[in-house]
Amino acid sequence: MKVLVVGKGGREHALVHGLWLSGAEVLATQPNPGMAQHARAIAVAPTDVAGILAVAQAEHVDLVVIGPEAPLVLGLADVLRANGIAAFGPGKAAAQLEASKDFTKNFLNRHGIPTARHVTVTDLQAAKRALRTFAHPPVIKADGLAAGKGVAVPDTWEEAEAAVQAFLGDRTLGDAGATLVLEERLIGPEISALALCDGKTLLPFDLARDHKRILDGDRGENTGGMGAVSPLPTVDAATRARIDREVLQPTLAGFLADGLDFRGVIYAGIMLTADGPKVLEYNVRFGDPEAQVLIPRLGAQLADLLLATATGQLAGKTLPTDVPAAVTVVLAAANYPATPRTGDVITGLDAASAMPDVLVFHAGTQADGATVRTAGGRVLTVTGLGATVAQARARAYAAAAGIHFEGQQMRTDIAASVI
């Protein structure tokens, strides 16, 4: 099988590694040095839709796997499928589930999927009046894509008004903030429920948890994610069944009812409230860093599963269970997330990668001769595999301890909450 992977971060390194392990010939757009170990480099940007189509045709690939949301929102999957090329990733219409919070709230409500009460506003004065229809300051969400900066969770009315003023009044996020969703604030642990979906059949992964704040104890600034774990032994079987019954299956029913041909991975960000699971958001792609724990657990079956997803043949398939647990720890650059410093020399990569049951995925790295240097906010994600979460966690941290670069940031409590 010949596969083109679109994207160049830690998630895409996990995809390339799993596809290579599956025996596929792998090509990748502008791969980072870790990806380049197992993929032939294609000098086309992940958002260059015409360029990617041309490469897929010239190379006669069997499958294009689209990692990030930006090319999905641009309609890359539609263009590929219209030209007879199998694509893992939903089309532009379904990608609205990630690109528009208002679209998502309407989808959730239309299909009876539990979520927080909300009001959508496009006018500053109306927004300020709408705030007071909530008993407590609501969560304020910019409608459009804002690279993780589009959600404010205010503790006071003053903070809520300031967020509305910034997003909608001052357009600090550009047009992403032209429409706002104001939403009741929910309380409870957060989980990530991902499932492969081929348009007709869902194949849910074990639950995962991301750790979004920069500091231990979920303190400090929001980031793209500082580590992840799967499964979540602290979530009981009844809750898991509720997530499938009340969120994932109705989501598939919604796709069918709305005529959305969803072929890829649907990711529901869920809060486990006292009233049951409620959806905070959808993503229409693998999470990063959730991919770095979910994909290694698929072992050499990744290529087969992704192709079956893209071609509508998931019925009767199951996910492999031979890797019971995985934990990934992000090594982030100095000054991440505000203004990550780049160019620092990374040492210890080879020794860490050689450790058993350890995978070192590159995210923001660049090659400089034989040296590897930092080149982005999240630099590496170090995954440990094991029979239990505790074992996987110990392996991830043991490997991470051997890798160094100036100013490196790492949380020490990834997965601790589920052991």
Residues that bind ligand AMP (CB under 6 A): 116, 139, 141, 151, 153, 183, 185-186, 190, 212, 269, 280-281
The span from the CA of 5 to the CA of 148, in Å, is 23
209-210/358-362 β-pairing: unpaired
The closest of 357, 352, 362 to 392, measured between CA atoms, is 357
CB 142 to ligand AMP: min, Å: 9
The closest of 364, 370, 330 to 347, measured between CA atoms, is 370
Question: Quick one: which H or E segment has residue 280?
Answer: strand 276-283
**In this complex, which beta carbon is closest to ligand GLY, that of residue 137 or of residue 204?**
204
- Do residues 145 and 98 lie in contact, with contact meaning Cβ atoms separated by under 8 Å? yes
- Look at residue 225 and give the partner it binds from ligand AMP, ligand GLY, none, a contact being a CB closer than 5 to 8 Å depending on partner kind: ligand GLY
**In this complex, which beta carbon is closest to ligand AMP, that of residue 153 or of residue 300?**
153
Radius of gyration over every alpha carbon of the chain, rounded to an integer in angstroms:
21
382-410 b/e (C-beta count within 10 Å ≥ 16 → b):
bbbbbeebbbbbebbbebbebbebeebbb
Site for ligand GLY in 362-381 (CB under 6 A): none
Q: Is 98 in the site for ligand GLY (CB under 6 A)?
A: no
**In this complex, which beta carbon is closest to ligand GLY, that of residue 60 or of residue 219?**
219
**In this complex, which beta carbon is closest to ligand AMP, that of residue 159 or of residue 190?**
190
Size of interface with ligand GLY, in residues (CB under 6 A): 6
Burial of 245 (0-12, 13-18, 19+ CB in 10 A): exposed
- Look at residue 287 and give the partner it binds from ligand GLY, ligand AMP, none, a contact being a CB closer than 5 to 8 Å depending on partner kind: ligand GLY
Give the pair of three-digit tokens for residue 75: 């309609």
- Give me the phi and psi of 331, to 5 degrees please: -105, 115
**In this complex, which beta carbon is closest to ligand AMP, that of residue 271 or of residue 325?**
271
CB 286 to ligand GLY: min, Å: 7
CB 224 to ligand AMP: min, Å: 11
Site for ligand GLY in 260-299 (CB under 6 A): 283, 287-288, 290
On the question of a cis peptide bond just before residue 337, with omega within 30 degrees of 0, the verdict is yes
- At 11, which amino acid appears? R
What is the distance, to the nearest Å, from the Cα of residue 93 to the centroid of all Cα atoms in its chain? 19
The closest of 136, 131, 166 to 150, measured between CA atoms, is 166
**In this complex, which beta carbon is closest to ligand AMP, that of residue 21 or of residue 153?**
153
**In this complex, which beta carbon is closest to ligand AMP, that of residue 139 or of residue 346?**
139
Site for ligand GLY (CB under 6 A): which residue of 144, 225, 264, 402? Answer: 225
Site for ligand GLY (CB under 6 A): which residue of 102, 210, 246, 261? Answer: 210
- Look at residue 357 and give the partner it binds from ligand AMP, ligand GLY, none, a contact being a CB closer than 5 to 8 Å depending on partner kind: none
Query: Which residues of this protein are in contact with ligand GLY, per CB under 6 A?
Result: 210, 225, 283, 287-288, 290
